[in-house]
Structure 1
């Protein structure tokens, strides 16, 4: 089965800690100046016009800038088409190269995502079958801009072996070929190598070898978030229980849920409320930064910007501190 490594592996922690702040207007205009000097005149002018309406609503972003010839051929794009060329994530070249073909990248057009189409033999990163410039035209750590030779097609369909929902929205049991232990071990190794050691240790201690026909979904905060928010080791079990859903939900499944949809977790009485803000999926007030961070036939991991807390102040955590493996 395919898997996607974390985009977050290569993004500094200060980027995540500043998620509540908007991109400075100066950065957007600096990017437009660089685009102008690099021969992307049409996108440079367009970026200046839409900056306040689009980019300044997000703390970080990646812009995929079509060439002047693309503008000449297609004409001035609609606002929705421009949103489709903006991702609310700082996507570095290294992180993009780690994504498997079929991985989805959220955009600022609600409900629409881009698809990674890079094959192992490709030297350049490809999205929706369009190659990006090898390195960003502009990169200040929060805002990155790549060049592309034509506009992305919102109706693009990926025909490769990428992630698909397979009716997981209803958590239907499926026949699987690989062992549970092997599936968890691959997830654990991936997480350990990328700044998610706390989550990886939890999976290793509590879930490795467990056989669950419907799989699990983990919403994983990075180590910095975990260490800053919980101090006592005896808090760990209940903390992790709230981040694990007893069903395997890929990104395609999550975006199909309406606002207000509640996901049950393994912590009794704790649910995750799905909402949206400017095209970003929000879980109990916490944005999903990196969808399909890892996935195989039993485990899906999505990177979130912080730990999940109860929205209902009356919620009281169950005093049971250990996972019962038979729950899975």
Structure 2
């Protein structure tokens, strides 16, 4: 009979698997309602544009944020190109409270491949801007049904905008020490209250599995940490946790690293994780930051004094050679087990 702890863990992992099926396309009703609200709110050009391009432009994702320029901007610029429109669509839900909490320099992904919006809000906390363009509906969104959020901006964003160098936010240990004396972890997560805000943001942006992992407290630490950084892969890219529960350990780093810390690390910097022997190597492809060759998709998705969450479009996988070594070790263990069983059989035979 399985032990209660193993049974409970299996049930929790099964719950995580079921969450993978929750992601779905943005409801078509949201698009229709949003276009109507845009028109009634004086954004006629964006309303008509949304109706025309919704089938081809809106992604098959559960949430979306649209930044809507006013009619006057359409008159000045003329009919925008498809690529420019894509630059105004973010494939995730960004409530105003979340946007206002992001520090300057945070990158927000868009539907324009390889292009992100940059938070340029002043440090004083007054006003909200992206790519130097003011968000005109910073008090309340034009539309928000939980799936689709529409915010007004005073003009079109410039895809060629170059943000100033980010201001470095100090951390107590930017190089990240070893997660524990022996690199092991235990079940039972301390200080779960740290993650209340992080979980809500992760769920609304398509990172339900990692959010539920924090919520269910599947991972704990031998030495309770004072800070963490979570590199969260989107739900669609999370491998079966039942087959590979170490995926959670591979994506958590034992120190607080906001975006300005990550971009200031030198090429080849290695970060430890809570999986013994697994590290994250920082590299770059142009101005794109890579973690084990996986680009950071949504920098500073959430941050607080203790926890930072960055979104990834892919999972951080074990290197091929490490997988081969693990498979070889597993084969050797199985072979040893079979040999032991054969010896036992021989001993049993000799007794008769």
TM-score normalised according to structure 2 size: 0.56
Given that residues 268 and 318 in structure 1 are in contact (C-alpha distance below 8 angstroms), is that contact kept between their aligned partners in structure 2?
A: no
Specify which structure has the bigger relative contact order, considering alpha-carbon pairs within 8 angstroms and separated by 6 or more residues: 1
Instruction: Deviation per CA, 1:269-297: give whole Å up to 9, x if none.
Output: 9899xxxxxxxx9x99x99774323679x
**Residues 1:243 and 2:257 aligned together:** no
**Structural RMSD (CA):** 5.2
1:79 is matched with which residue? Answer: 82
Unaligned runs of 5+ in 1: 1-12, 165-175, 211-215, 256-262, 273-280, 320-328
| C-alpha distance in 2 between matches for 1:264 and 1:63 | 37
Larger helix share, 1 or 2 = 2
What CA deviation, in whole Å up to 9, does each residue of 1:85-105 have, x standing for no partner?
000011111111111111111
Q: What number of residue pairs does the alignment pair up? A: 262
Partners of 1:220 and 1:177 in 2: how far apart? 20
What's the counterpart of residue 131 of structure 1? Answer: 135
**Contact map agreement 2:168 2:261 (CA 8 A) in 1:** no
- CA drift of 1:121 comes to 2.7
| Contact persistence 2:59–2:91 (CA under 8 A) | no
Matched, 1:292 2:316: no
- Counterpart pick for 1:146 among 151, 167, 171: 151
SS at match of 2:32: helix
**Structure 1 CA distance, aligned partners of 2:272 and 2:166?**
29
**Structure 1 length normalisation: TM-score?**
0.59
Distance (Å, rounded) in 2 between the aligned partners of 1:288 and 1:140: 27
What does 1:269-280 correspond to in 2, within 5 Å? none
1:29 to 1:217, Cα distance in 2 relative to 1, 3 A: same
Structure 1 residues 131 and 162, CA gap change in structure 2 (3 angstroms): farther
Partner of 2:122: 119
Structure 1 92/317 Cα, relative in aligned 2: closer, same or farther at 3 Å?
farther
Structure 2, unpaired ranges of 5+: 1-15, 180-190, 200-210, 264-270, 281-288, 331-352
Mean alpha-carbon deviation: is it higher for 197-206 or for 109-118?
197-206
Residue 32 of structure 2 is matched in structure 1 by: 29
Structure 1 counterpart of 2:61: 58
Q: How many Å separate the matches in 2 of 1:90 and 1:143?
A: 7
Q: 1:1-328 maps to which residues of 2 (within 5 A)?
A: 20-129=23-132, 130-133=134-137, 134-159=139-164, 161-162=166-167, 178-179=172-173, 191=195, 193-195=197-199, 205=222, 208=225, 218-220=230-232, 238-244=246-252, 267=275, 290-293=298-301, 301-303=309-311
State the distance in 2 between where 1:122 and 1:248 align.
Answer: 22
Relative distance call for 1:118 and 1:17 in structure 2 (3 A) is: farther
Conserved 8 A contact 2:26-2:63: yes
Residues 1:23 and 1:198: Cα distance change in structure 2 (over 3 Å): closer
